[in-house]
Structure 1
Amino acid sequence: EHMRTKLQRKMIENRIKDPGDELKLVIVRDMWLTGFDVPCLHTIYIDKPMKEHGLMQAIARVNRVFKGKPGGLVVDYIGIIQPLKEATLTYTKSGGGGTPVFQQEDAIKIMREKYEIVSSMFHGFDYNDFATAALSKKETILRDAMNHILRQENGQKRFFKNVAALKRAFALSVPHEEAMKIADELGFFQTLKAYLGKLTGSEPGYSEEDYDIPLRQLVSKAIASDKVIDIFEIAGLKKPGISILSDEFLAEVQGMEQKNLALEMLKKLINDQIKVCEQKNKVAAKSFTELLEKTISQYQNRNIQTVEVIERLIELAKEMKKHDKRGELLNLREDEMAFYDALETNDSAVKVLGDETLRKIARELTETLKRNVKIDWSVRESVKAEIRIAVRKILRKYGYPPDKQEKATQTVLEQAELVAKEWSQ
């Protein structure tokens, strides 16, 4: 549609400046040069003779820095290379700084280097059928490929870093023949990177920032699909129900052939459960976090092997399940159980009070705090002081060890801060 009026042109200008707008292509003549700044623009198609200042101005439309944009792409339909060289020479002689044009040969050189690094990480692993394989076969290749990368020292970190660099160099190298030859493989690398990111939680999956629309079209044949990434499906596991750490599911994970993949999956699932716990029970979450970090640290220091760390993570998962059921056994609600844990019930000096007394303390603390805690109580020192006194009275009332009272009081107040917002609703 030909936009003739000033208002129409302004509307289109505003839309093209918005990277989230669906408008992606605009045809202009003798417009949008001096003073027109749109950092997200990445490609310019030139089909008219241009030279000197006008040509440099046109090229400059796509060389602005923008998040996720590796560089500007100039598609030449008419033959501007000589005028561009002359304009560049004039630019540099007149005092212009930097490198106004990134030579494609430089990008291809970097692309070759990064491709060699990434492909060498798959020595002995065949992924050549990925681009043309059926979806089920793709998932099998991805599962084995994740395991292959994860068992290498710093494998995931090195893979992510070099695939990102390869992607950027590729974007500047198309449509060169060498770039087109590796498009399918880049699609595989990108897909694997997305699945690994989903598994470990260390990097998001696909986004507009991964590569722009033209690049995504080039590698789209190799990408598994646009469906939501399901790590359980890729790992060959039945998707668990509400009880994600059930004995049946844990046994299934333990039986996986891809041990490195199983380890990462367990680590992520446990970490996710800890995050849920953090919203309800500060003490329990801290304890589980310390156990998880200790186990992973021993594994990273090569003190224990993959199979052993999987066994320890499964034991940790079972301990978390036991803790969830302990409240039922003690006849305590979820919030009461959190204050029960805050009483350092594993300490020998505290244990002598017995479960019955500790349950009474937890219940009374919960009810007292519920009555007194308001939304802004933690920032009002007078209210906080009153609550602190109330907590100490309850502890003394039931004979809680005097030398443990200060720490218990502080932990109880921290737990109260955690649940105060929920109570006030």
Structure 2
Amino acid sequence: SVPQLFHPNAFILLSNGSDTKVGTLTSGWEHFFDWKRVADEDEAGRVSLERALRGLLEPVRLLDYIENFTVFEEGKGGLIKKTAKNHQFLGVNKSIARLVELRRIDETSEKLERKRLGVFWHTQGSGKSLSMVFFTQKVLRKVLGSCTFVIVTDREELDDQISKTFKATGATAREDVRATSGEHLKKLLQGNERYIFTLIQKFRNEPGQPYPELSNRSDVIVITDEAHRSQYDIFALNMRNALPNAGFIGFTGTPLIKGEEERTREVFGDYVSVYDFAQSIEDGATVPLYYENRIPEVQLTNQELNHDLEELLEVAELDEAQEKKLEREFGREYHIITREDRLEAIAKDMVAHFTGRGYRGKAMMVCIDKATAVRMYDKVQAHWQAEIARLKAALEPAQGDAREALIARIHLMETTDMAVVVSQGQNEVEDLKKKGLDIVPHRKRLLDEDLAEKFKDEKSDLRLVFVCAMWITGFDVPTCSTIYLDKPMRAHTLMQTIARANRVAPGKQSGLIVDYVGIFRALQSALATYARPVVGGEGGGAPILDKTELVAALQLALNEVAGYAQARGVTLETIAAAQGFLRIGLIDDAVEAFLANEADKKTYLQMASRVARLFKAILPDPLANELAPLSVLVSYLAAKIKALGDPPDISAVMGDVETLLNDSIATEGYRIGPASNPEALVNLSEIDFEALQAKFAQGHKRTEAEKLKTLIEGKLAQMVAVSASRMDLADKFQKLIDEYNSGSRNIESFFAGLKDFVGTLTVEEQRAIAEGLTEEELAIFDILTKPVPVLSKAEEAEVKKVCRELLATLKREKLVLDWREKQQAKAAVMQTLKVEMRRLPAQYTKDVRTEKMARAYAHVYDHYFGAERSAFSPTGRSPVE
């Protein structure tokens, strides 16, 4: 052989007249590609020799292709030559043309427009990172010889992946251009580097201090990758303050989704190049993905549950921290996804499915959280070993082809390596140990081994990984063919996750998404957004909003809040200008003023919410700088008011969430009732009334009354949740609040009323002990004795005995697992109630007994979930869970 003979070869074009493919000398056949379009990506794609000849061999295009769209990478088998595919060649050249066009615009006019270089949407798996290399290299050679590129991501793994791509292709050989800190980033930006790689979080400033301008050069281009939401917060504003004359181009693998994601256009401009999901599959740049529903019987009937929850949160106007807390409470409370029996069923199914696939590529199991990833690993391992034992038992009588197939399957299973890949967290060893899990061996593997390279290596035995957040974006493994999904997802995150299975590999015809959690509706919704928009804005979604209109709207909203505050003796400008203890005192006075009554508080919070939304919509535009002090102050005062409850206060919407869940869980699923988190229980006896009264006397009366009201609301909700007979207390409390809000009670009278009501609650809380009953028995006793009949002491003792024995019988014999979903079990509970009701004193007529039995059954149904799980147990569920 004479290898030097092929050094001048630019690329290879193969054709039989009907089919035409393009590739390089080092390309495997699966990486040869069609060239369907000549000059524009909006052309109708058609495979033909004529298209390839005109699109590639026309002299200007040929020279451009050889000079600017050819790179070499160091691979394990030696040097790999890579050239741009049709969509990369057309997309990058469109982006270059946009850059050249904008640089012709006079700097004094349309200055903001000159910075918007566009959104480059090429679907995941289509070589977006390599397109970045082609773009930067051609800009350096043909447009701006001294240009600096700042490549910005919002995740460590993306930053690592992109910087490695640039190094592998020879674009840069330096490691010290990756910002390691905020200070390091400032030094890099003040220099004259060709490439700078950074996380957007590195644009952090000191609280209250504006981020300094670091370079006013106009030949700086900021490239952001997969950072939709993070481009709009304060870090992004800092980035623009640091580089006021830089141009911005956004590279993304997912389309801009209606709502917050459409704001991407406000920052980067409109689509400059689009290569969507369907095109990618049609061209063979990615493999098609198939969906398989393997949801276990525990499932939701409301397929819009996540969407409904999002709407509920939006109406409640919680901040991001509160939303996250609600999501965690949501998961802990109902255990739909993390039930032991459900995970057991999925683990067993996964083992059978994984070993029974046709193309046996790598696979990822995506779990809801770190603990579940470790738990699923343990369960899959157990079922894996059991399956190996079963196959070996079946091997002895087997003969011929059947025996050979069993031997091959056993070999595959015995040689398969698995790993848990999760990010490291503080106290993770102790936290998971409390849940009966051991993270130590998994963490040791992650620290000692390069699991990423092993998983990417087709020949490696690491074939199955368990993840929850790592590796689901920006991680390319061509041989990964199956994604097992057991984590609710939507929109960008969902599309990025399933795209792990769409890469091209030898022998791989498709990717498979195995759904264990019910994401089909979310998948349909996400795929609907992948319809190809018209580049330039027409038909591609909402047009770019005029930012000056948003600024005017924010100014108007701030004026309204300022006027509202002024009418209550609060001057926002004075607070904003104040410093130190004076500022703290003025803030406390303002909070006190806005708590005059419930209506005043709600009005202020609604106004503050509008200010926060408008301010966030303007970010990261420098126009936000001028209005930032007042906007931040208004939001801070709102946060102070909300913080008077339990931080973060999610109780206001928790009941709605519970109702939503109860309406959304299938009859064959598990309906788990509300829990009483011991950490959230309010101990009324621990309220220091002397300290509270002293603060009340100091002047901030409304603030202290609001704190006490919040404590009572929390305690009352817990008490009513376990016994509906206490609704009269809730009515009395509401009457007290209504009297204050209507003005018939002043703040002093209201505070005194709250103190008296705490005494009432304390007596009620201790009534079970006084009656010689448990809290559970008291709830039944109240049902049987209120409002009728009137009983003697002896008759009350008889009723108490019935309550004790009724509950003991039900819990011991009748309240089995999921009894509420089984007709026979429900009938058994009703029969037990009938029998016990006959033992009540003679005062209970037949009609009274019937009415009491119906109420008692409703109480048991609402509060007891089976298998020792009830609203009275410490966490609202069985202790073993």
TM bin (shorter chain): 0.5 to 0.7
Does residue 1:246 correspond to 2:685, yes or no?
A: yes
Distance 2:597 2:647 in 1: 17
Does residue 1:163 correspond to 2:163, yes or no?
A: no
Partner of 1:414: 858
Check conservation: 2:818, 2:866, Cα contact below 8 A.
Answer: no
Check conservation: 2:591, 2:641, Cα contact below 8 A.
Answer: yes
Partner of 1:109: 552
> Any idea what SS the aligned residue of 2:856 has?
helix
Check conservation: 2:558, 2:630, Cα contact below 8 A.
Answer: no
TM-score, scaled to structure 1: 0.66
Q: Relative to structure 1, is the Cα distance of residues 398 and 31 closer, same or farther in structure 2, using a 3 angstrom cutoff? A: closer
Cα deviation digits, residues 62-100 of structure 1 (max 9, x gap): 986444987765499xxxxxxxxxxxxx969xx679873
Higher strand share: 2
Partner of 2:837: 395
Equivalences for residues 133-152 of structure 1 within 5 A: 133-134=579-580, 140-151=585-596
> Any idea what SS the aligned residue of 2:732 has?
helix
Check conservation: 1:377, 1:383, Cα contact below 8 A.
Answer: yes
Does residue 1:405 correspond to 2:849, yes or no?
A: yes
> Any idea what SS the aligned residue of 1:349 has?
coil
Does residue 1:293 correspond to 2:697, yes or no?
A: no
Offset at residue 148 of structure 1 (A): 0.8
Does residue 1:370 correspond to 2:546, yes or no?
A: no
Does residue 1:262 correspond to 2:704, yes or no?
A: yes
Distance 2:231 2:812 in 1: 58
Offset at residue 413 of structure 1 (A): 2.3
- The counterpart of 1:274, out of the listed 710, 716, 724, is 716
Distance 1:25 1:132 in 2: 29
Equivalences for residues 60-139 of structure 1 within 5 A: 65-67=258-260, 74=267, 100-123=543-566, 124-126=569-571, 128-129=574-575, 133-134=579-580
Distance 2:647 2:853 in 1: 37
Partner of 2:868: 423
Does residue 1:191 correspond to 2:633, yes or no?
A: no
Check conservation: 2:817, 2:867, Cα contact below 8 A.
Answer: no
Distance 2:795 2:565 in 1: 58
Distance 1:357 1:118 in 2: 62
Which blocks of at least 5 consecutive residues in structure 2 are unaligned? 1-70, 74-81, 83-124, 133-151, 160-198, 203-218, 270-534, 651-679, 870-877
Offset at residue 129 of structure 1 (A): 4.5
> Any idea what SS the aligned residue of 1:154 has?
helix
Partner of 2:790: 349
Equivalences for residues 29-48 of structure 1 within 5 A: 38=228, 41-42=231-232
Code of the residue aligned with 1:259 in structure 2: it is K
Check conservation: 2:591, 2:637, Cα contact below 8 A.
Answer: yes
Code of the residue aligned with 1:114 in structure 2: it is A
Check conservation: 1:339, 1:365, Cα contact below 8 A.
Answer: no
Which stretch has the larger CA shift, 95-104 or 406-415? Answer: 95-104
Distance 1:365 1:346 in 2: 20
Offset at residue 302 of structure 1 (A): 4.0
Does residue 1:383 correspond to 2:825, yes or no?
A: yes
Offset at residue 114 of structure 1 (A): 1.1
Code of the residue aligned with 2:749 in structure 1: it is E
RMSD: 4.9
Equivalences for residues 3-22 of structure 1 within 5 A: 10=129
Offset at residue 332 of structure 1 (A): 1.6
Partner of 1:235: none
Distance 2:222 2:621 in 1: 29
Distance 2:612 2:717 in 1: 33
Code of the residue aligned with 2:758 in structure 1: it is A
Cα deviation digits, residues 129-175 of structure 1 (max 9, x gap): 567644x6655444332221121672233222322332344446578
Q: Relative to structure 1, is the Cα distance of residues 244 and 189 closer, same or farther in structure 2, using a 3 angstrom cutoff? A: farther
Cα deviation digits, residues 214-266 of structure 1 (max 9, x gap): xxxxxxxxxxxxxxxxxxxxxxxxxxx98642385245445513333233222
Check conservation: 1:144, 1:258, Cα contact below 8 A.
Answer: yes
Distance 2:700 2:867 in 1: 41
Check conservation: 1:278, 1:285, Cα contact below 8 A.
Answer: yes
Q: Relative to structure 1, is the Cα distance of residues 413 and 131 closer, same or farther in structure 2, using a 3 angstrom cutoff? A: farther
> Any idea what SS the aligned residue of 1:155 has?
helix
- Once the two structures are aligned, what percentage of the paired residues are identical? 16
Distance 2:247 2:748 in 1: 66
Partner of 1:320: 761
> Any idea what SS the aligned residue of 2:643 has?
helix
Aligned residues: 362
Check conservation: 1:62, 1:72, Cα contact below 8 A.
Answer: no
Code of the residue aligned with 1:157 in structure 2: it is K
Check conservation: 2:781, 2:799, Cα contact below 8 A.
Answer: yes
Check conservation: 1:70, 1:171, Cα contact below 8 A.
Answer: no
Q: Relative to structure 1, is the Cα distance of residues 180 and 250 closer, same or farther in structure 2, using a 3 angstrom cutoff? A: same
Q: Relative to structure 1, is the Cα distance of residues 28 and 337 closer, same or farther in structure 2, using a 3 angstrom cutoff? A: farther
Distance 2:812 2:130 in 1: 57
Check conservation: 2:153, 2:200, Cα contact below 8 A.
Answer: yes
Check conservation: 1:40, 1:69, Cα contact below 8 A.
Answer: no
Check conservation: 2:595, 2:703, Cα contact below 8 A.
Answer: yes
Distance 1:408 1:11 in 2: 73
Partner of 2:453: none
Distance 2:713 2:587 in 1: 23
Distance 1:20 1:295 in 2: 55
- The counterpart of 1:24, out of the listed 200, 206, 210, is 200
Distance 2:131 2:792 in 1: 72
Q: Relative to structure 1, is the Cα distance of residues 290 and 18 closer, same or farther in structure 2, using a 3 angstrom cutoff? A: farther
Check conservation: 1:73, 1:172, Cα contact below 8 A.
Answer: no
Distance 1:269 1:20 in 2: 44
Which blocks of at least 5 consecutive residues in structure 1 are unaligned? 77-89, 206-240
Distance 2:624 2:221 in 1: 31
Offset at residue 322 of structure 1 (A): 0.9
Check conservation: 1:369, 1:416, Cα contact below 8 A.
Answer: no
Which stretch has the larger CA shift, 241-250 or 288-297? Answer: 241-250
> Any idea what SS the aligned residue of 2:644 has?
helix
Partner of 1:334: 775
TM-score, scaled to structure 2: 0.35
Partner of 2:321: none
Check conservation: 1:147, 1:259, Cα contact below 8 A.
Answer: yes
Give the greater-gyration-radius structure (CA).
Answer: 2
Distance 1:159 1:294 in 2: 23
Check conservation: 2:608, 2:634, Cα contact below 8 A.
Answer: yes
